[in-house]
Amino acid sequence: KAALYVVPTPLGNLGDLTRRAEEILVAVPWIAAEDTRHSGPLLKQLGARARTLPAHQHNEHEAAARIVDKLQAGEAVALISDAGTPGISDPGARIVAAVRAAGCPVVPLPGPCAATTALSAAGLNDEHFLFYGFLPSKSGQRKQALEGLRGHPYALVFYEAPHRVLETVEDMAAVFGERTLVVARELTKLFENVDSLPLTAALDWFKEDANRQRGEFVLIVSGAAADAASGDGERVLKLLLDEGL
Ligand code: SAM
């Protein structure tokens, strides 16, 4: 039986494709892609000659069955999404489950992921984080989801689309109040920005400059306990400094 390789692809900067990812994409006879047209230019640039098969959220069951057939016939398959790591707020989990259930090996490659890339530059004190991904698009459900996270002590990592970033940030401020928000925008691309600001000031900050609302976003909110704890730390430090210690 051949293996399914789960292959992360760049978020924007093509230099972020790992050497191993490139080797696999060039070597395998089949590439299952979220959007074959989107991935076409990357695969062409690599000189990958694999045949592609579509594997998106609307055909995951059917794609899984086709992929299992290939693997059982001894033909390896690489699974890619439009950008980043398959299965992380992207199709992939059902395919991986089906391949595993069929007794075929699944080989994951490390690589680009917007969440971990944003976290690495966030500079938050939180020791732990919770990856949430996309919130519901409807405001009522979104607020409910945020309410459920309010007391959570870990940094919260969200993905958001540009046309919803204002309303989401507004809801976050209403539900969480005083926290730190990290806005990681257009990671690895020309207009990359990572900003850290008080959540309560974030709505005005986004409105000040329309460019701040453009592109792709990761939003990270510091955890409930972390801000309180760092607040304590600052108070203690101030006391010590005031005492001249
Ligand atoms: N599987 C991908 C990963 O590993 O990060 C995520 C796919 S999800 C459909 C797309 C979302 O990821 C975007 O809406 C945005 O929130 C985030 N994202 C992707 N590329 C990004 C980038 N270059 N900068 C900031 N966020 C990005």
Which pLDDT tens digit goes with each residue over 121-161?
A: 999 989 999 999 999 999 999 999 999 999 999 999 999 99
User: How high does pLDDT run on average in the chain?
Assistant: 94
Q: Which residues contact 212 (CB under 8 A, 6 or more apart)?
A: 183, 185, 193, 205, 206
pLDDT of 5 > 80? The answer is: yes
* Ligand 1 contact, 85 CB (< 6 A): yes
Which pLDDT tens digit goes with each residue over 84-121?
A: 999 999 999 999 999 999 999 999 999 999 999 999 99
* Ligand 1 contact, 184 CB (< 6 A): yes
Average pLDDT value for residue range 216-240: 71
Ligand 1 centre to CA of 204 (Å) is: 24
